[in-house]
């Protein structure tokens, strides 16, 4: 069985993430979407709880009818989680040359900890290559801080899936 992991913080899940999940799921039999737990993300200071991020991804995946996806949280090294799952393939998205260099370094590090773990890079779809979670969080902070009356759905609909929009609008 061809199995892979797609790890990340997904804080929050973006349309770019969801596009990669969908595209990767077409190439393999089972994809584990691994959400990094809050306790290991102190440097990133996640905006959303681990449980919330897992739930939002599960809802987005279900809305697409993807049956070969399992969403779960993890703590520790990605290479350790891959080893525990018996997975030798990791999916990573690349938007630009800076992403590629960073992801290349991580791939070599993961291979050092788990020999045989291969990283497959998927290029971001052009329509999503400008999106990242950090930008979405910044937009959210700005909208909230200015008490802007802009509708969240209008402001963020091109950046995040419906499950995230509904959560943010609540």
% of residues, the chain, pLDDT over 70? 91
Place of tokens 């690349």: 94
Quick one: CA dihedral 159, 163, 168, 170, positive or negative? Answer: positive
pLDDT tens digits, 23-78: 999 999 999 999 999 665 556 678 899 999 999 999 999 999 999 999 999 999 99
- CATH code of the domain covering residue 13: 3.40.50.620
Q: Which of 23, 30, 44, 83 is catalytic?
A: 44
Is residue 145 part of the annotated active site? The answer reads no
| Residue 97 confidence (pLDDT) above 60 | yes
Mean per-residue pLDDT of the chain = 91
> Considering its fold, how many domains does the chain have in total?
1
Whole-angstrom distance, CA of residue 87 vs CA of residue 73: 16
Q: Which of 25, 79, 95, 163 is catalytic?
A: 95
Is residue 79 part of the annotated active site? The answer reads no
Domain of 58?
A: 3-169
Is residue 17 part of the annotated active site? The answer reads yes
| Residue 149 confidence (pLDDT) above 60 | no
| Residue 1 confidence (pLDDT) above 90 | no
DSSP secondary structure of 70-105:
EEEEE-S-HHHHHHHHT--EEEEEE-SHHHHHHHHH
Q: How confident is the model at residue 143 (pLDDT cuts 50, 70, 90)?
A: confident
Contact 61, 21 (CB under 8 A): yes
| Residue 11 confidence (pLDDT) above 60 | yes
Q: Which of 25, 79, 133, 163 is catalytic?
A: 133
Is residue 134 part of the annotated active site? The answer reads no
pLDDT of residue 142: 81
DSSP secondary structure of 117-152:
-EEEEEEPPGGGTT--HHHHHHHHHHHHHTT----H
pLDDT of residue 156: 86
Pairing mode of beta strands 69-74, 30-36: parallel
Q: Which of 17, 25, 53, 92 is catalytic?
A: 17
């Amino acid at each position: 069985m061809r199995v892979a992991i797609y790890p990340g913080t997904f804080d929050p899940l973006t349309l770019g993430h969801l596009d990669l999940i969908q595209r990767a799921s077409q190439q393999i039999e089972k994809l584990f979407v691994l959400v990094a737990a809050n306790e290991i993300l102190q440097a990133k200071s996640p905006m959303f709880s681990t449980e919330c991020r897992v739930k939002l991804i599960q809802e987005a995946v279900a809305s697409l009818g993807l049956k070969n996806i399992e969403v779960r949280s993890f703590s520790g090294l990605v290479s350790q989680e891959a080893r525990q799952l018996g997975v030798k393939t990791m999916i990573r998205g690349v938007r630009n040359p800076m992403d590629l260099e960073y992801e290349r370094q991580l791939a070599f590090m993961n291979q050092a900890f788990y020999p045989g773990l291969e990283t497959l890079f998927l290029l971001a779809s052009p329509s999503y290559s400008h999106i990242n979670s950090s930008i979405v969080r910044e937009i959210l902070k700005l909208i909230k801080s200015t008490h802007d009356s802009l509708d969240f759905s209008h402001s963020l609909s091109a950046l995040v899936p419906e499950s995230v929009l509904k959560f943010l609008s609540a």
